[in-house]
Structure 1
Amino acid sequence: MEFVYKGKTKDVYKLEDGNYLLKFKDDVTGENGVFDPGANTVGLSIEGAGKAGLRLTTFFFKKMNEKGIPTHFVDSDIDNNTMTVLPASLFGKGVEVICRYRAVGSFLRRYGMYAEEGQKLDSYVEVTLKDDDRNDPLITDEALEMLGIMTKEEYKVLVDLTKEIGAVVKEELAKKDLELYDIKFEFGRVGEDNHIALIDEISGGNMRAFMGDEYIEPLKLEQIMLKD
């Protein structure tokens, strides 16, 4: 296989059959040693985070595939921390889509004049550009279309899929008495028809979840979610 890209939380390899292999690492995003799913830098390394992220990602991707929600997932090898995925083209150099159910994190930092911490939000969707140098700026559907990153029609599909996938994750967490505060997704164009599909991962490192007033860290989240 051919090495393609060294990412913050996983490395990417191209396989001989045209599919790709994602190697999950123990690094998670954050700042000053504090985990933050919305951060654009690696903040710390948590032993076992890679395997935990892969296990939970596998659980959720299989759930999405069962429901007919398009993803790039093919299969995974938990022992080797790897996941095989279909090739996908990014929107521009990549966008991230956040679905928010509570006012926390960067949402609260931006809109704190109007929002109270922990205030309920109605599946609020934000799209940001993956651009570390510019701190992952927010962008509107009009700007995305003007800059040739995606059409307004694609943007609508993206938002609808985000709400649908977020609702599935939220429902699964609720079964374990967990509340999802926010979650970050990535999407790409997959297949000959370039349909929009969920890519990357769905893990504790991409979301904030609470049990009552207690924040649940990624590793513990995986243990709770996959406990028989």
Structure 2
Amino acid sequence: MVYEGKTKIVRIVGDHALIEFKDDITAGDGLKHDVILNKGSICAEITAILMNFLSEKGIKTHLVEFLPPNILKTVPLKMFPLEVVVRLKKAGSFVKRYGGVEGEELPFPLVEFFIKDDERHDPMVCFDHLEILGISTKKQAEEMKEISIKATLVLKEFFEKGDFELWDIKYEFGLSKDGQIILGDEISPDTFRLRKKGEIFDKDVYRRNLGDPMKKYEEVLELCRSLSSQ
């Protein structure tokens, strides 16, 4: 075992990393935590479908193969301790920080960087912070920003085919052995906000105690299966 986080276990086997998705779901920097049957397998398959779709659009991801029910075979990456958030609409912490109406359109995709640090509640940083703290170079940060915007617009179009709205999304990146910046971690209702006619299809169902989140996650999985086969 190399690493166990709140929702995944990463093991190195030969030349690959095997990422096992757990059934854990968390919110509030881990203060809220539950285990829900089949959550890991749902998020793993959604991630595999969406990363395959991004790869088809020329966006490199760490995915090599989906190993059902809940494991991704991936390219090992040296991860940046960062969350890169792209916002298309106002929601969540953005509204708490700056005000506005949830769901209000932003004039262009807004990219924010946060250091992964639960104890400090994932502080938001700028390019200069990243360089001063030795987390990444400005050039690397600019590349992560560029990839994040491109991936978000691709996924926005993907979900619009099913009449869903992508509001915001979180990415994590790492460096491959040859120094390439590659999209890693996961893409699932744990990491994006997805809405349809005001109905919530993401982790906000769990954050806000709005019922069984897995019913919504299952609907997202069926949507991804359907759209990817078109």
* Cα RMSD for the two superposed structures: 1.5
1:10 aligns with 2:31: no
What's 2:120 paired with? 134
What's 1:223 paired with? 222
Q: CA distance change for structure 1 residues 191 and 42 in 2, over 3 Å: closer, same or farther?
A: farther
Deviations 1:104-143 (A, max 9, x none): 101111111xx22221122111110000110001010011
Task: Select which of 65, 68, 85 maps to 1:98.
Answer: 85
Alignment of 1:173-188 (within 5 A): 173-188=159-174
Aligned residue-pair number: 212
TM-score with structure 2 setting the length: 0.87
What's 1:209 paired with? 194
1:19 aligns with 2:24: no
What's 1:34 paired with? none
The whole-number CA distance in structure 1 between the counterparts of 2:104 and 2:169 is 16
What's 1:60 paired with? 50
Q: Which ranges of structure 1 fall in alignment gaps of 5 or more residues?
A: 32-38
The whole-number CA distance in structure 2 between the counterparts of 1:89 and 1:179 is 32
8 Å contact from structure 2 (residues 86, 112) kept in 1: yes
The whole-number CA distance in structure 2 between the counterparts of 1:45 and 1:166 is 29
SS of structure 1 residue aligned to 2:190: helix
Q: Tell me the CA shift for residue 18 of structure 1.
A: 2.6
TM-score with structure 1 setting the length: 0.88
What's 2:210 paired with? none
1:167 aligns with 2:153: yes
State the identity as a percent.
35
SS of structure 2 residue aligned to 1:161: helix
What's 2:212 paired with? none
8 Å contact from structure 2 (residues 49, 224) kept in 1: no
Letter in 1 for 2:24: D
What's 1:45 paired with? 35
The whole-number CA distance in structure 2 between the counterparts of 1:224 and 1:155 is 32
The whole-number CA distance in structure 2 between the counterparts of 1:225 and 1:42 is 28
What's 2:175 paired with? 189
SS of structure 1 residue aligned to 2:193: strand
* Higher mean C-alpha displacement, 115-124 vs 177-186: 115-124
What's 2:209 paired with? none
What's 1:89 paired with? 78
The whole-number CA distance in structure 1 between the counterparts of 2:85 and 2:26 is 15
Q: CA distance change for structure 1 residues 171 and 41 in 2, over 3 Å: closer, same or farther?
A: farther
8 Å contact from structure 1 (residues 205, 218) kept in 2: no
Q: Tell me the CA shift for residue 41 of structure 1.
A: 5.0
8 Å contact from structure 2 (residues 50, 224) kept in 1: no
Q: Tell me the CA shift for residue 46 of structure 1.
A: 2.8
Deviations 1:201-223 (A, max 9, x none): 11121111111111113332222
What's 1:154 paired with? 140
SS of structure 1 residue aligned to 2:166: strand
The whole-number CA distance in structure 1 between the counterparts of 2:192 and 2:30 is 14
